Structure formats: structure tokens, C-alpha cells
Amino acid sequence: MERLIAWAVFAAALAFALVPFAVSFGGFDPRAFPNPLPDPVAQPEGWTFSIWGLIYLWLVVTTLGAAIFHVDTPTFWPHRPWLLVALVVGAAWLFVALESAIWATLLIWIMWIGAVGALFRAPASHRWMVRGPVGLFAGWLTAAASISIALVGAGWGVWFDEVTWAVIALVLALVLGIWLMARLAVPEVALAIGWALVGLTVDASDKSTLVAGLAAVGAVLMLVLAVRAVIRPSPKLAVA
């Protein structure tokens, strides 16, 4: 069974990485919202999404290596089902995002739960093989899932205006990021969130001083937490 799951994780990672070549997605269609968002406040610069290339490559290479060299390693077993869920949902996400922002937001949070669940169960002794790529994946999803809430909330005109929703998304991403770093101190988590916030700072600089300023402060905080995690690695082991 472990061999089957290990290879299923690799297959899911490969599918996840190949889907963008088949589906073109440049963000939610502004016309899909009752309150159109042609240039959202809570939207990082396009170049920040280049991080997906690193995430895809790192996950494909390491899940293949894990399937070949660590299929019978007990410390690799606990995280695999969680990562499998995140990757399978991720492979379907682009298709859903083209049709529904609401369902895409729900799915990205399921992806986040799977990635974070895998991160908490990843073997601490294999940072580059598991904790690094899963941490980068989980960190980026933390930012992306939070921003999705802002886009949906503002796009449907629920309760608050667009700037307020952007602030809510930033606070949520920072709270989750700080919590993850406090529990596991995986630097890739903070680096991914910080990268998203740098992109958001640049994009929001001519839209909202509040959002740009908060994003900049958050990016610096994530960088500090990442450096601290490198200097003082977490001794915490994976949970069963």
C-alpha cells in the first residue's frame, strides 16, 4: 500500500505541474463577479506567480525521489496521504477556477489543509526532500487562499469594500503564517508568504497606501521569521 501511495503522490505532483500547460489561467474573470474587479487591490504582481515553477519542479523531483528511495521509510508514510489530497485537488483547481471563483476558493482552502497537514507530518530529518517543497507549497497557498477570500468578498460586495477585504486577507495570511512558523519554523513557508506580500506591495502601491504599507510590513516580518528559522532550526519532529 505504501508503494502505491508513494507513486500516486508522484503521479499527482506530475499532473499538478502539467495542467498549466493545458489550461491558460490569468486570474479570475472580472466579469464573473456581480461587482467587477478589473484591477483588484488584493492581487500580487504577475511576476510573483513565477514561484509556481519552483514549487512544481521541487515537488515533482522530490516525490519521484521519495517513491524510488524512501518508499519503505516509515517517517515518510504519515505525510503522503495529506500531500496526495492537496495535489489531486490542485490538479483540478485550474479547471474549476475558470468556471467559478467561489468553488475555486473552497478548493484552494482544501489544498491548504492538505499541504499544511502534510507539512506537520513531514519528517524533520529530510528538509530538502519533504519539508522544503511542502513548506513552500503550503506557504504560497496560505497567501493565495487568503487573497481568494478577499477577491470573492469584494467581488460579491459582501459587507465590506475592496480595501477592507484586502486588509482582512493580509491579516489572515500573516496570522496563519506566524502560527505555522511558531509551530514548525520551516523557512520556506515564510519565504513564500513574504514573496506574495512583496508582489502585493508593488501592485497596491498606486491603489491603497494602507494595503501597500501593511503588505510591506508583513513581507519584512516574514523575512525576519525565515532568517530566524534558518539560524535556529525547529527541533520539532513530524506528528504521527
Tell me the per-residue pLDDT of 163-196, one tens digit each, with 9 for 90 and over: 899 999 999 999 999 999 999 989 999 999 999 9
pTM for the model = 0.90
Spans of the chain below 70 pLDDT: 26-34, 36-38, 233-240
Alpha carbon distance 38, 34 (integer Å) = 12
Alpha carbon distance 110, 120 (integer Å) = 15
The per-residue pLDDT for range 117-153, each reduced to its tens digit, is 999 998 888 778 889 999 999 999 999 999 999 888 8
Q: Under a CB-based contact definition with an 8 Å cutoff, are residues 185 and 155 in contact?
A: no
For 34, counting Cβ atoms within 10 Å of its Cβ (0-12 exposed, 13-18 middle, 19+ buried), the class is exposed
Closest CA to 27 of 13, 48, 8, 3: 48
Alpha carbon distance 59, 50 (integer Å) = 15
Q: Under a CB-based contact definition with an 8 Å cutoff, are residues 141 and 90 in contact?
A: no
